[in-house]
Amino acid sequence: MSVECNSEDAINALKNEFLREFQRVQKLVHRFIDDLTAISGYAQIVQLKPEQSAAELRKIMHTVEKCTQMLRGCILGLKELERKYS
């Protein structure tokens, strides 16, 4: 019975770890979508008001860099889980 409890505890711990990582990635994906929406808006301003293009392009580049960092963080977290459990 002790082995059964240890096995259940291990399965629950693994399940909880995956759920935490899933929730973390889910939050980052929502932020990523928000940032992509901002990028789209900045690009539309550049099209409609070329005189503001320099400022808007800086915003686009900053937001793209932020998105890239978020995605790299997601990939690292998923790779760590893969490494840990493979």
Task: Write out pLDDT tens, residues 33-78.
Answer: 999 999 999 999 888 888 888 888 999 999 999 999 999 998 998 8
And the tokens for 48? 């409609």
Q: Where are the domains of the chain?
A: 2-85
- The dihedral built from the CA positions of residue 73, 63, 65 and 44, taken in this order, carries a sign that is positive
Backbone dihedral angles phi then psi of residue 49, each to the nearest 5 degrees:
-130, 80
Tell me how many degrees the CA angle 82-14-26 measures, rounded to the nearest 5: 70
The string of pLDDT tens digits covering residues 4-42 is: 778 888 888 888 998 898 898 899 999 999 999 999 999
| pLDDT for 2 | 66
Residues in the chain: 86
Q: What is the CA radius of gyration of the chain?
A: 20
- Confidence at residue 65, expressed as pLDDT on a 0 to 100 scale: 94
> Can you give the pTM of this predicted structure?
0.70
Which two structure tokens, joined as six digits, stand for 37?
Answer: 């929406």
Whether the per-residue pLDDT at 1 is higher than 60: the answer is no
